[in-house]
Amino acid sequence: MLIVTRASAGLSACLSVVLLSGCAFPLFNMEERSRPRALAYRHSSVASSVEPPSESRSEQARPTRALGPRKSSVLDPSPPEPDDDSSSGACYASLREANIAFERVADPTPGVRWPIRLKGPVRGVIFAPLERGDRMHAIAALERALSLVSWSRDLRRAHVRKLEYYSMYRPGARIAGSGSISGHAHAMAIDAAKFELDSGVVLDVLNDWEGRRRGEDPCPVRRQESRGSRTLRSVLCQAVDRKLFNVVLTPHYNKAHANHLHLERKPGVDWLYVK
């Protein structure tokens, strides 16, 4: 019991370091990081004065054969920067102390400074890409993995044992309509689609998320919902309340997000955007 407590404390401390300083990703556009947002989330309430362009899977960045650079792209031909033991070392150690199996990615991962792959359950929850064998989309930034470790506690309380997603990493991904860099380009976002419960029931965002009126606040949980929809909304809103993610797009946002929840953690910012 003491070991678990220490691991949890270490992860919390490391996640704080990630979000505030040490592991903050250096390649994020500084203009994007410092730009003020008029839309803020407070206690499951969203003001809707700003409507950013949607992020559509159908308008992802065009693939490149060798993941090489192209005009106006985040793809960087230079080799990844070496790990800084003072910032990333403690984060790797926290994953190990929590018994999270992972591997460092040696393949080229433009836009991702500390890429890893999860190799097993995260505190009882399996995170798996929908397409088997899709190793590229399963790459997560170290910062991303730490927030998933924190979220797994809420997932297990809801009896979720497996979460299937479309992607975490998409090299050079852009936000449709604006051309701005997507969190997927840095492996800092996850498109969660299906949640498998201990009972074997699979909750699919496309089919089981109810009351998806456009522009409506996705939180809090609706009492009139079915149990499946309440479960999906509950694990999402708990994560937002705990500020594990600060960019959250749901089926209430647009058609492009009808089948998944876009959960992103942007380092170096203190605002929240939930739609």
pLDDT digits (tens, 9 = 90+) for 17-76: 444 334 543 333 323 333 333 333 333 333 333 334 344 443 333 333 333 333 334 444
- Which residue in 155, 92, 144 sits closest to 121, CA to CA? 155
Global pTM exceeds 0.75: no
- Which residue in 147, 151, 220 sits closest to 189, CA to CA? 147
Q: How many CA atoms lie within 13 A of 72 on its CB side?
A: 7
Whole-angstrom Cα distance, residue 129 to residue 36? 33
- Which residue in 223, 227, 207, 217 sits closest to 250, CA to CA? 217
What is the three-class DSSP state of 154? helix
pLDDT in tens, 238-252: 999 999 998 999 999
Q: Which helix (H) or strand (E) holds 3?
A: helix 2-20
Confidence of residue 143 (pLDDT cuts 50, 70, 90): confident
- pLDDT over 90 percentage in the chain: 43
